[in-house]
Amino acid sequence: MKMCAAAWCLLLGFGFYAYWSVVYWAWTDIGVYAVTAPLLAFGFGLRYLALVDDDAPTVE
C-alpha cells in the first residue's frame, strides 16, 4: 500500500510540474515548487519506508 501511495505522489508531483510548466511556460515559478516539492518528498519518503526491511531488531 505504501508503494502505491509513493507512486501516486511521485506521479502527481512530476505530472503537475510538467503540465503547469508547459501550459503556463513558468519553469521557475515558486508556486509550482511549493506544490511539487512536498509531493515528491512524500513520494520518495514513502518509497523508502516501503523498501525498508521490517526484520530490524527493536530496542526495548
pLDDT digits (tens, 9 = 90+) for 13-44: 999 999 999 999 888 888 889 999 999 999 99
49 backbone dihedrals φ, ψ, rounded to 5° = -65, -35
The amino acid at residue 34 is: A
Cα 26 off chain centre by: 20
pLDDT band at 1 (very low <50, low <70, confident <90, very high): confident
pLDDT reported for residue 59: 72
List the chain domain ranges: 25-51
Cα 13 off chain centre by: 6
pLDDT reported for residue 40: 94
Q: Tell me: pLDDT of 55 over 70.
A: no
CA separation for the pair 35, 38 (Å, rounded): 6
- Residue pair 39/16 in contact (Cβ under 8 Å)? The answer is yes
